[in-house]
A and B are shown apart, each in its own frame.
Chain A
Amino acid sequence: MRRMIPVILVGVLALVVTPLQAAGMRTIGLSISTLNNPFFVDLRDGAKAAAGRLKVDVVVLDAQNDSAKEANGIDDLIQKKVSLVIINPTDSDAIVPTVKKLNAAKIPVITVDRGASGGDVVAHIASDNVAGGAMAAAYVGKRLGGKGNVVMLEGIAGTSAARDRGKGFRDGLTKFPGIKIVASQTADFDRAKGLQVMENILQAQKKIDAVFTQNDEMALGAIQAIGAAKRDKEMFVVGFDAISDALTAVKAGKMAATIAQQPKEMGRLAVEAAVKILNKQAVPKFTPVPLKLITK
């Protein structure tokens, strides 16, 4: 019996270690720009839930919005020999050397929410801003019964979010030939500028039926302007992003709707793509994450 003990020990050890090793083969690193923002906490939770379901390990790193910290954390992941790294970059440019390092170590890279400006990224997963703009257009078109004057407040000129949300909205409105965009002006994604630009547009446009702003900050500024001009019965405002102030405004009936990104979905889709890549299945270069219209 005594002689059996080492054999049993080895057997037990083997039983314990084998699955650990198997799990070690399938460990995914997830580097998040900051967990000090509910959006990214949701993203992490979505990723973890999906990982539990698909039986992979996820190591989550919080870069605390510091590009250097993010780079160091991912260096550690390379040392740990993880199978794949999902990056939510703090900065699209600063992350490039790190992506190249991962490429050199032959570890596949997926980016979520923000992309990387260089290096080899297998898949990018982010909200579909064009679809979000179209969603806002469909809501405005339906609520106006296909007829009316619409104002759009644009984001910072030249940013991809402004471009995509604007394109989606304009394209979506082509389905409603009776609706005219009477003014489309930039307010730089800023609440104070949203207020000011809306004040000016209210001076120029005597009849406005709806306002679409490419983010909620501008919507909240525009609502102040519309309220001060006592024209809040004349028009409704649709924002984008579903920030907490906007959700409060929607609940209070001051804002008609906002478009919400779905960070949990983002996390889930990222991990699902990761598992497909590890199983040598094909994944699309860009996976759009669906958005959600939020009304009262």
Chain B
Amino acid sequence: MASNRAATVPPARPPGARRIPTFLRRFGMVAALALLMAAISFLSSAFLTVSNLLNIALQVSINAIIAAGMTFVILTAGIDLSVGSVLAFSGAIIAGVLAAGRPVLLAIVTGLVIGALLGLVDGIVITKGKVQPFIATLAMLTLARGMTLVYTDGRPITGLPDAFVWLGAGSVAGVPVPVIVMLLVFVVSYVILSQTPFGRYVYAIGGNEEAARLSGVNVLLDKTLVYVISGTLSAISAIIITARLNSAQPTAGVGYELDAIAAVVLGGTTLAGGEGSLWGTLLGAFIIGVLNNGLNLLNVSSFYQQVVKGIVILLAVLLDRRLR
């Protein structure tokens, strides 16, 4: 990994110096989140309670899981705009299988396979077809949304069994199931990204694709896999949102790609690829979730909400820059 990443570092800078900025960068976002939480808890007594913090974690789970997949993609200097539509289509298929009276496990597996397949199509179009990720996944955004509308006939699919709804509404020892799923996704993704050769190749490809290829990385395969991961994680989010709403919505996931990208970028991963971390992404997702929750708790008018969101995101990124 070090040799590949070194290719992107200006030669004047000693390689060892990179450790410290990484730490500070993470610290910057932790500081931003802490400041935000302090400010909201000062203004609302309902904020800093166990039930509300669990509530925030529950709400963050969907975006965070998608953003974990997005982190893989952005680390390779790619982008996946199709996540929201892939979520909608997998969700519709899952609900369709369930509504037909099939077992929950079959529905879940089918949904995950659909997500992975759509990601695979993205990946093949990008690598084999040599289409820019932005364009390829933009096409998939439209295509998967269209397929969702065709499949659902524009209507929600309802009538899901309780065993499935538990995945969204249930909890284990007081912790909501989606939060447990989110933590599992992050732990597994972290292990993949930091402990496996594939993880190192992801960073290498984003740092310098040509150098990675020349040093023997199977760039085509690894880049394709990254989109498969993103599609699969979108499908996991689809399971959660479908269970939470007790129905599959034809319009589910509209605009989710922007929330996911915001979480990744707030977490310090650069859109240029090669640099960033999953924990940063989780932090970024929590900043967005805390902000949404706080604005609701404080009953801020909907016109001002967008203004406040824009300002807080700008301040967080600026604070992050400062500390670098």
Q: Which A positions have Cβ atoms within 8 angstroms of B?
A: 154, 157, 182-186, 190-192, 195-197, 199-201, 203-204, 217, 220-221, 224, 228, 244-245
Check A203 against B51 for contact (C-beta < 8 Å): yes
Chain A nearest CB: distance from B268 CB in Å?
Answer: 26
Check B246 against A204 for contact (C-beta < 8 Å): no
Of B74-82, B107-115, B224-232, B293-301, the stretch lying at the interface with chain A is B293-301
- Given the complex of chains A and B, what is the CA–CA distance between A184 and B301 in angstroms? 8
B161 at the interface (CB under 8 A from A): no
- Given the complex of chains A and B, what is the CA–CA distance between A203 and B245 in angstroms? 19
Q: Closest B-chain residue to A182, C-beta based?
A: B299
Check B156 against A245 for contact (C-beta < 8 Å): yes
Q: Find A190's partner among B51, B59, B251, B297 (CB 8 Å cutoff).
A: B251
Q: Which B positions have Cβ atoms within 8 angstroms of A?
A: 44, 46-47, 49, 51-52, 55, 58-59, 155-156, 158, 169, 241, 244-247, 249, 251-252, 254, 292-293, 295-299, 301-303, 305-306
Main secondary structure on A side of the interface with B? helix
A197 and B296 contact, Cβ closer than 8 Å, known pairs A203-B49, A203-B55:
yes
Q: Find B244's partner among A157, A190, A204, A224 (CB 8 Å cutoff).
A: A224
A residues in contact with B241, CB < 8 Å: 192
Check B46 against A204 for contact (C-beta < 8 Å): yes
B residues in contact with A228, CB < 8 Å: 169
A residues in contact with B254, CB < 8 Å: 190
A-B contact pairs, 5 of them (CB 8 A): A154-B302, A192-B252, A204-B44, A217-B249, A244-B155
A residues in contact with B46, CB < 8 Å: 203-204
Check A245 against B247 for contact (C-beta < 8 Å): yes
A203 and B297 contact, Cβ closer than 8 Å, known pairs A196-B292, A245-B158:
yes
B residues in contact with A196, CB < 8 Å: 59, 292
A residues in contact with B245, CB < 8 Å: 191-192, 195, 220-221, 224
Q: Kindly count the residue-residue contacts between A and B in the assembled complex, taking CB atoms under 8 Å apart.
A: 69
Q: Closest A-chain residue to B156, C-beta based?
A: A245
Chain A nearest CB: distance from B46 CB in Å?
Answer: 4
Q: Which of A183, A186, A217 has the most CB of B within 10 A?
A: A186
Q: Closest B-chain residue to A162, C-beta based?
A: B302
Chain B nearest CB: distance from A163 CB in Å?
Answer: 11
- Given the complex of chains A and B, what is the CA–CA distance between A197 and B241 in angstroms? 14
Check A200 against B156 for contact (C-beta < 8 Å): no
Chain A nearest CB: distance from B42 CB in Å?
Answer: 15
Q: Which of B158, B246, B292 has the most CB of A within 10 A?
A: B246
Q: Closest B-chain residue to A185, C-beta based?
A: B296
B residues in contact with A244, CB < 8 Å: 155
Chain A nearest CB: distance from B303 CB in Å?
Answer: 6
Check B302 against A186 for contact (C-beta < 8 Å): yes
Check B297 against A200 for contact (C-beta < 8 Å): yes
Check A199 against B55 for contact (C-beta < 8 Å): yes
- Give 11 new A-B contacts, CB below 8 A, not counting A185-B299, A200-B59, A201-B297: A184-B299, A186-B302, A186-B305, A190-B251, A195-B244, A196-B59, A200-B296, A203-B51, A221-B245, A224-B244, A245-B158
Q: Find A199's partner among B49, B59, B301 (CB 8 Å cutoff).
A: B59
